[in-house]
Amino acid sequence: MHLAESLLVATCALAAIVDHRRGLVPTSLTLGACIVALCVHAAGAFSIPGNFLSHLGPLFLHWAGGAVLTALVPLFLWKRGSIGGGDVKLFAAIGAFLGPTRGLEASLYAFCVGCLAGIVVLARDGALGRTLEHVAAGPVDRFRRLFGKDAAPKAKLEETWMRFGPAIFVGTCVALFLHGGGR
């Protein structure tokens, strides 16, 4: 595993631990990780033969593009109140380290792990059945409206929260593992 990937795993692990214990991902951790990622990319420009300055632009775009693109979907979810702001910044740090393609891949795996963990949390809290009924009510209501009937009353769901930092950690590790297997 390269230094950058090791630093990213350490950042995600620390974020997962803090998020699990305190319910937040510290800005100092995510901002620091973005700065470290920029430094790692700049150091990589030194290792490429040729003019150092000519390599900085593409490496900066790789860093910035990864941070922005990887944080777009989480930013939308944060605006809707579905995830925390620290999670968004952690996704940006992941993108800053990995670039756009691998950053998006890591976020996809994180959301898959988060969905699976969410099912477990709903089942543990006894809310899985009510949630599935609520989800199924949408298509049933549309079908009822086709025949001129009113929508069935929906049961009120209580909010169930889980910490997303551990899912981000696992998803990032899966992405790194799948890409690192060929090295």
Confidence of residue 156 (pLDDT cuts 50, 70, 90): low
**Both structure tokens of 48:** 């490429």
Q: In the prediction, which pLDDT does 178 show? A: 93
Rounded CA separation 168/106 (Å): 8
Which residue shows structure tokens 């390269």? 2
**111, HSE (Cβ side, Cα atoms, 13 Å):** 14
* Per-residue pLDDT at 51 exceeds 80: no
Note the pTM of the prediction, 2 decimals.
Answer: 0.84
C-alpha R_g of the chain: 20
Phi (first) and psi of residue 26, to 5 degrees: -65, 135
